[in-house]
Structure 1
Amino acid sequence: MVDLPATPLLDAASTPDDLRKLKPEQLGQLAEELRAEMISAVGTTGGHLGSGLGVVELTVALHYVFDTPRDVLIWDVGHQAYPHKILTGRRDRIRTLRQGGGLSGFTKRSESEYDPFGAAHSSTSISAALGFAVANKLADRPGKAIAVIGDGAMSAGMAYEAMNNAEAAGNRLIVILNDNDMSIAPPVGGLSAYLARIVSSREFLGLRDLAKRLARRLPRPLHSAARKTDEFARGLAMGGTLFEELGFYYVGPIDGHDIARLVPVLENVRDAAEGPILVHVVTKKGKGYGPAEAAADKYHGVQKFDVVTGAQDKAPPGPPSYTAVFANALLAEAARDPTICAITAAMPSGTGLDKFQEKFPERFFDVGIAEQHAVTFAAGLAAQGYRPFAAIYSTFLQRAYDQVVHDVAIQNLPVRFAIDRAGLVGADGATHAGSFDVTYLATLPNMVVMAAADEAELVHMVHTMAVHDAGPIACRYPRGNGTGVAMPTTPEALEIGKGRIVREGKTVAILSLGTRLEESLKAADRLEARGLSTSVVDLRFAKPLDEALIRRMLTGHEVAVTIEEGAIGGLGAHVLTLASDEGLIDAGLKLRTMRLPDVFQDQDKPDLQYAEAGLDADHIVATVLKALRYNSDGVVEGARAS
């Protein structure tokens, strides 16, 4: 490992209180030391790199100018919060990022008083900061609330909903628009920085307030004209008209990497009597690290990497990822069917749809961070006879549930939902776990819900979705690689609501949904070794259930166990309801459901997460033996061996 550069200022600034003791001319050096520390840490752990590198100077300036944590600093999403974590007393644990028992990859209230609001989903920061600011106003407390939101996150309607109500916060709300892609106006150079400093100054704000008060004394037509002239002039120079219309005083754009210019602007904003205020800061993703600057997309989220060369660790060769299997299967379907379209909400590479974009650009739609719009847009396409695939992570589809119900399910429109990152997701932890989609989708009339047990099944399910025009249909699949099964040369359309028997026995029935099938088969081997003949079923469908197959398994075995990678209310609940409705429970059936526990699990390796959740082969075996009343000395009663 390459020796780290000396970091004398960073060593002395373990908290923002320490940071504020530095001289302004020392902040640039501190930023460089902070950048070096972040690169080294993420090189060790992997994680989000480019976003954090882009806000190093901004992070230093914000903590220097504002009285954090009394002034609350809320980072949108949290990808860019690694420098913030280093400066707020967590440097000694920064190399535990995204690991079991370590620091979260996002902001987290339980982790630090400097994380006033948890964030991992996009576009929540302004709403949350508004809540903090209004609370301070109501309590007559002086604290500010600062939201740092990226330009990508501003594509979500929630950000504008919050801004539309921001006037209630007065001058206690400050929004930092971190523009790291496209500037509204030329972002750098002496003129724009000078304008930003001038229009944020106390003198300018005082003169502007005086002018506004004088204008109010003019006849209404002249008053309105004066107001519009003021807004237009500053909007023409700096792009702030939109934000003015939403009630914000706009400052910027300003170079987000120039601390000497950032600090006085933020000081002016801090001390302003007007509010709310939006500061437009222009940054560069990956700033200060050549490989990340050259390929911002590839260095947004990284594996462990060599700091000198930038080369990321490569996963050992193995089966393809489920995401890649889905992407290739959809390409094949789109080549056969010109009505197939693909929709993503700002995740083309994460969902594998970047391949679709290259091959069929006219049928690909990235709607930005706007899952609600994505779903209703897909519904409109479906209503006109197209076959839209909305590829959205399970955790993000939650944000569009009303649209799934109201715009898709009630109208029985054939929207295809490709639900990536189903189940537990490892290093991203609770905020990104796909725990709830079976529960919230399988309750809906007209909805078909499938779960792929392996990569070959996923190919068949993509084809099934493509040819299913009877109503909405969803397929869920996990993060990570497949199991290595042989891939089909020709996809098959599955019969809706029909499962498959993978292994047939007499005493125990394991009913699996999704990729717990592999663990179910391991458990069956161990049960067979104990003399317990075991059936294993891949149900394939959470809705509609294969009632005939389930009935056969429940009545033909002494004990039955359902297992799924989802929360309570999913497959197990539906099977229990079926058993109850048919009186099978009254007949003495031993039926057990295995599902994710009723907690939010922190980040760890996926296999350790599933073991902690009790969803591995060991726990399946233990569940069966307990149901059959086994103890350490053997059978106590009731087991019927093969």
Structure 2
Amino acid sequence: MSRTLLSNINSPKDLRQLNPDQLVRVAKELREFIIDVVSTKEGHLGASLGVVELTIALHYYFDTPSDLLVWDVGHQAYGHKILTGRRDIFETNRKLNGISGFPKRDESPYDTFGVGHSSTSISAALGMAISSQLKGDFDKQHIAVIGDASIASGMAFEGLNHAGVTKANLLVVLNDNAIGIDPSVGALKSYLTKAKIGKKPPNDNIIEALNFHYEGPIDGHDLPELLKAFEKLRAIKGPKLLHVITKKGKGLKQAEEDQVKYHAPGKFDKTTGEVIPKNNQDLPPKFQDVFGLTVLELAQNDESIVGITPAMPTGSSLKFMMEEFPDRAFDVGIAEQHAVTLAAGMATQGHKVFCAIYSTFLQRAYDQVIHDVALQNIPVIFCIDRAGLVGNDGATHHGVFDLAFLRCIPNLIIAAPADAIELRQLLYTATQDLQQPMAIRYPRGRGEIKDWKHPFKRLDVGRGRCLQEGSELAVLSLGSISSNVSNSIKAIGSKFSVAHYDMRFLKPLDEDLLKSVFKKFKHIITVEDGTVKGGFGDAVLELAQFENYKGEIHKLGIPDRFIEHGDTDQLYELVGISSEKIRDKIIFILT
């Protein structure tokens, strides 16, 4: 259909030229535009569909970018991007050299704060509001849009707690749709649910108790009501909160009915809404499913096993255990710090705790990993999903720092399986009289092994293995990037004699194996899908220096810069750890 209004909106200034009664038409066109593009290009669908009217109302009423609008996470910011000058390039969303899937400061002046992780918007917007006060600018508006799952995070409460004792010109818009990626959990969810249906006691408002002026709940799909609320709140000094009720996936029937699936559904039929099935038959399983199914199998035979995840039961596949053992598997919401210390507390009482958490989110609980787990030598098992380059979500979601930031922590075992079988066996090994904390990292996506359900076998902690003998050069790999090494060696064929070692453990390193490699080879390449600063390659270099190794060691890994979004294979090529780049490095060294 012809999008006569949307096609003429190149900035919010154009939007503000319209009459209020035209905004409903803009909402219809914007929703259809998002569906058209995401149905073929993929991306985050449900969250953006749910805030179409809210996005329009915000940019229509407030003088963005002079007024500062901060989104939380950014899954819902597609409409925002389209209305702020990126409509014609929106098809490049999440593609290499295209626009980011999240708000990004250097992409647009309308993206006031980079948001790839949740629960940061209130603190950021409050900081902006206090800064405006210090400059004497009391008219500038500062708006934080945050979801009901994100506001339950500790950081969001910290921001609310501080804002409540300021006179900052801050408006928090609570976008309440009862779901993040998976359904929201916790006591705050129950409180908000009561507020929606009018059961909240009049003198028992948690927001007002924090010295916020509270308005709502109102219908977040009612444009006139949204504009009326903004006008009322603008006249009120100090921090205020508008409680808005929306429906994730609004406007696409299937997305409304299956909000988990349509958070990021892949390609789908824009007319029927049906997801286009991928040809996954007879493919190797995803690493997350190997984790989830293995932990379930272990839990079936060991009542002491429990699982914990911060808001990622589907993404981590802990959902398998949650379905069969709901009393022993816990989704604690967007609360990574709490997840880690909760795991530590349970482990002190004899439970074998699998804490499943994405690499990029584990960064948010670094203090707890050190003080609450490692310092006390508590045997929590960290299952670090999405390790390495994750692809189209980009710099905010790549899990490239965990090897480096964990390696310096005493007492912690760090393992990185090369394939699904090793992952299964490491999970089993972690249940066998573990006396210290252990981190097992694995990537997003599928491995290469279909027949992975081998009988359980305990692995020797701190021991690697030789995958291929050779005499001219040794390649040492850690983790699933081992497959790229194997493919590169296969491509070389018999031209050179190259050995390949799967180290399995970053800590403790297999020093005996490495010493034998130092004696045998003059040329060594280390390969990892983590930062080369302080990671696996540096660990090998440290031992080589101690052993007075005289040969050459070449480190391949993620360079010292943030890597943007793109297909994983493209990014491997970009940073030099694709099969082709590893092969080229081997040939360069040996010729």
User: C-alpha displacement at 1:601, in angstroms?
Assistant: 1.1
Deviation at 1:101, TM superposition (A): 1.6
Report which stretch shifted further, 476-485 or 343-352.
476-485
Give the one of 104, 114, 119 matched to 2:115. Answer: 119
Q: How many Å separate the matches in 2 of 1:240 and 1:605?
A: 49
Question: Offset at 1:461?
Answer: 1.2
Query: Deviations along 1:285-340, whole A, 9 cap, x unmatched?
Result: 11111011111111111101101121223222311111111111111111111000
For 2:184, the equivalent position in structure 1 comes to none
How many angstroms does 1:458 deviate by?
1.1
Cα distance in structure 2, aligned partners of 1:171 and 1:398: 30
Question: Which is worse superposed, 21-30 or 370-379?
Answer: 21-30
Match of 1:152 in 2: 149
Q: Deviations over 1:59-93 (max 9, x none)?
A: 11111110000001111000000111111111111
| Deviation (angstroms), 1:240 | 6.8
Equivalence for 2:219: 255
Matched residue of 2:414: which SS? Answer: strand
1:214-234 per-position Cα deviation (integer Å, ceiling 9, x unaligned)? xxxxxxxxxxxxxxxxxxxx9
How far off its partner does 1:473 sit?
0.5
Instruction: Indicate the SS of the match to 2:307.
Output: strand
What SS does the corresponding residue of 1:376 show, helix, strand or coil? helix
- What's 1:34 paired with? 30
SS state at 1:67 partner:
coil
Distance (whole Å) between structure 1 residues aligned to residue 486 and residue 351 of structure 2: 40
Any idea what the Cα deviations from partners look like across 1:493-533, whole Å, max 9, x if unmatched? 11000001000111110001011211212222344533x21
Assess if the C-alpha contact under 8 Å between 1:134 and 1:168 holds in 2: no
1:427 maps to which residue? 392
CA contact (8 A) 1:130 1:169 kept: no
Q: What is aligned with 2:379?
A: 414
1:268 pairs, out of 232, 243, 250, with 232
CA separation in 2, counterparts of 1:365 and 1:331? Answer: 13
What is the DSSP-based 3-state SS (H/G/I as helix, E as strand, rest coil) of the residue aligned with 1:418? strand
Residue number among 504, 520, 544 corresponding to 1:540 in the alignment: 504
Distance, in Å, in 1 between the alignment partners of 2:169 and 2:86 is 27
Q: Which segments of 5 or more consecutive residues in structure 1 lack a partner in the other structure?
A: 193-233, 631-642
Q: Which amino acid aligns with 1:255?
A: D
Q: Paired residue for 1:45?
A: 41
1:226 — aligned with what?
Answer: none
Residue 463 of structure 2 contacts residue 505 of structure 2 at CA under 8 Å; is this kept in 1?
yes
Find the aligned partners of 2:471 and 2:456 in 1 and give their Cα distance: 32
Matches within 5 A, 1:125-524: 125-141=121-137, 142-167=139-164, 170-181=167-178, 183-185=192-194, 187=196, 236-237=201-202, 241-272=205-236, 274-317=237-280, 318-524=283-489
CA contact (8 A) 1:509 1:554 kept: no
RMSD over equivalenced CA pairs, Å? 1.6
Instruction: Verify: 1:80 aligned to 2:76, yes or no.
Output: yes
Corresponding position of 1:200 = none
Structure 2 Cα separation of the partners of residues 100 and 169 of structure 1: 42
CA contact (8 A) 1:322 1:455 kept: yes
How far apart are the structure 2 equivalents of 1:535 and 1:13?
A: 59
Contact between 1:454 and 1:485, CA under 8 Å: does it hold in 2? no
**Equivalent AA in structure 1 for residue 339 of structure 2:** A
Deviation at 1:468, TM superposition (A): 4.4
Structure 1 match to 2:2: 6
Higher deviation after alignment, 160-169 or 109-118: 160-169
Q: Structure 2: which amino acid aligns with 1:598?
A: D
The whole-number CA distance in structure 1 between the counterparts of 2:67 and 2:474 is 57
String of CA shifts for 1:330-364, please: whole Å, max 9, x gaps. 11111111000000101100000111111111101
Q: 1:314 to 1:459 in 2, by over 3 A?
A: same
Cα distance in 2, alignment partners of residues 518 and 471 from structure 1:
29
Q: What is the CA–CA distance in structure 1 between the aligned matches of 2:397 and 2:204, rounded to whole Å?
A: 34
Q: 1:472, 1:305 → 2: CA distance?
A: 42
Native 8 Å contact 2:465 2:502 kept in 1: yes
Give the conservation status (yes or no) of the 8 Å contact 1:501–1:536: yes
Is the Cα–Cα contact under 8 Å of residues 460 and 494 in structure 1 kept in the other structure? Answer: yes
Distance 1:476 1:279 in 2: 40
Q: How far is 1:236 from its partner?
A: 2.7
Structure 2: how far apart are the matches of 1:115 and 1:168?
27
Partners of 2:284 and 2:448 within 8 A in 1: yes
Q: Does 1:610 align with 2:575?
A: no
After TM superposition, give the deviation of residue 485 of structure 1 in Å: 5.0
Equivalent residue letter for 1:613? V
Distance 1:315 1:464 in 2: 34
* Equivalent residue for 2:515, pick from 540, 551, 556: 551
Counterpart contact for 2:464–2:502, Cα < 8 Å: yes
SS of residue paired to 1:565: strand
Q: Which amino acid aligns with 2:134?
A: L
- The answer (yes or no) to whether the contact 2:523–2:551 under 8 Å persists in 1 is yes
Structure 2 length normalisation: TM-score? 0.95
Give the letter aligned to residue 522 of structure 2: E
Bigger Rg, structure 1 or 2:
1
Q: Unpaired runs of 5+ in structure 2?
A: 179-188
Q: Write the distance in 2 (CA, Å) between the matches of 1:526 and 1:533.
A: 12
**Number of residues of Structure 1 aligned to a counterpart in Structure 2:** 575
Between 109-118 and 175-184, the greater mean CA deviation after superposition: 175-184
Equivalent of 1:55, from 35, 51, 56?
Answer: 51
- Contact kept in structure 1, 2:133 and 2:168, CA below 8 Å: no
Counterpart of 1:638? Answer: none
Give the letter for the 1:242 counterpart: I
* Contact 2:165–2:211 (CA under 8 A) maintained in structure 1: no
**Structure number having the greater helix percentage:** 1
The 3-state SS of whatever aligns with 1:342 is strand
Distance 2:491 2:41 in 1: 36
Percent identity over paired residues: 47
* Conserved 8 A contact 1:517-1:538: yes
2:530 counterpart residue number: 566
Equivalent residue, structure 2, for 1:209? none
Structure 1: how far apart are the matches of 2:14 and 2:433? 62
Give the aligned partner of residue 89 of structure 1.
85
